[in-house]
Copies of this chain bind each other. A is one copy, B any other.
Amino acid sequence: MALRPLHDRVLVKRVEQGEAQVGGIIIPDTAKEKPQRGEVVAVGNGKLLENGQRCGLEVKSGDVILFGKYSGSDVKIDGVEYLILREDEILAVLG
């Protein structure tokens, strides 16, 4: 069973802190809005502009991304926790 995010939203599977240290990323505990890491699982069709054009997202499935700690909404599918974010809440892509 799949989840298709709407518009400029993306479905993200969080990557554990332990894994993050393997890749060299350490997110400080003291930061107020801690950036966090996840893998993009699905993306929406893009944001609708005021001229009627739909603008595809810059991220795609498989991308590993950083986002703020309190961004998005948590959902659980088949026992796995996911996060639904707007693309604007994504800080950067690792690559």
Interface residues of A (CB under 8 A from B): 1-7, 9, 11, 23-28, 31, 33, 35, 45, 47-53, 55, 58-59, 66, 68, 73-79, 81, 84, 87-88, 90-95
Contacts and interface: CB of A to CB of B under 8 A. Distances in A.
A92 B4 contact: yes
A74 B35 contact: yes
A45 B55 CA distance: 14
How many copies of the chain does the oligomer comprise? 7
A24 B94 contact: no
A50 B51 contact: yes
Contacts of A33: 73
A78 to B, nearest CB: 4
19 contacts: A1-B94, A3-B95, A4-B95, A6-B91, A6-B92, A7-B58, A9-B92, A11-B92, A24-B79, A25-B76, A27-B76, A31-B73, A31-B74, A35-B73, A48-B49, A50-B50, A51-B51, A75-B91, A84-B92
